[in-house]
């Protein structure tokens, strides 16, 4: 079996990938994740193009140092209306994100790339997951943020924790997409490379 490398330093993605029971390594791709801007300083690419481009860039960033590997790259943004929302990094930005999301639908776009460095071929997909937010008071938002501190998460929440209480409805093909790694689609990609977790999974 070709070695698998996860091009991410995210603990959430590592935990998700562990579910497939396959041995893998991980490394940070250390790339510029900024969206492309036009001459006016405005974002000049769609959310789909952004996450697809960055997932490929993350995988390719580690290709030269990991020949004969299958490299998984993934990137995620949230979309509220026509605005792309990334990781807040601070309390203030997270508060603004959740206040804006209150009572609204947020669409999460997750790019996924599986690069075979042995032949240079890559599979790329963008998965979508929709979240309906409850009407949230400022006190609820403040308490949630101080409790869970989800400042490294697109959309300012951790759905695997208390963040689930923010939602009134979820819809999509794969709930793992919301956390940042679409496992159902990844299994399809791995099987196309001859790796079937249902036959190869082991306990480590």
* Candidates 44, 75, 152, 174; catalytic one: 75
CATH assignment at residue 168: 3.90.950.10
Share of the chain above pLDDT 90, in %: 79
pTM: 0.91
Element (DSSP H or E) covering residue 71: strand 70-80
Q: Is 30 a catalytic residue?
A: no
Range of the domain at 88: 4-200
pLDDT tens-digit readout, 97-139 = 999 999 999 999 999 999 999 999 999 999 999 999 999 999 9
| C-alpha distances in Å from residue 96, one per residue of 89, 123, 141, 145 | 12, 35, 9, 11
Ranges under pLDDT 70 in the chain: none
Domain count along the chain: 1
Provide the pairing of β-strand 70-80 with 4-7: parallel
């Amino acid at each position: 079996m070709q070695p698998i490398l996860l091009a991410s330093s995210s603990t959430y993605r590592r935990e998700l990938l562990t579910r497939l029971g396959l041995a893998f390594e991980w490394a940070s791709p250390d790339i510029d994740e900024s969206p492309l801007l036009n001459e006016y300083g405005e974002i000049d690419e769609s959310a789909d193009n952004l996450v697809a481009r960055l997932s490929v860039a993350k995988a390719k960033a580690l290709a030269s140092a990991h020949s004969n590997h299958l490299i998984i790259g993934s990137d995620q943004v949230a979309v509220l209306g026509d605005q792309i929302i990334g990781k807040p990094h601070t309390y203030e930005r997270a508060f603004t994100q959740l206040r804006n999301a209150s009572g609204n639908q947020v669409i999460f776009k997750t790019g996924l790339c599986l690069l075979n460095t042995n032949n240079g071929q890559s599979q790329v997909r963008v998965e979508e997951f929709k979240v309906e937010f409850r009407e949230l008071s400022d006190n609820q938002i403040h308490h949630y943020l101080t409790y869970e501190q989800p400042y490294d998460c697109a959309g300012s929440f951790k759905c695997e924790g208390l963040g689930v209480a923010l939602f009134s409805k979820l819809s999509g093909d794969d709930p793992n997409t919301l956390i940042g790694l679409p496992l159902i689609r990844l299994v399809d990609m791995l099987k196309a490379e001859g790796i079937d977790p249902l036959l190869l999974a082991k306990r480590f």
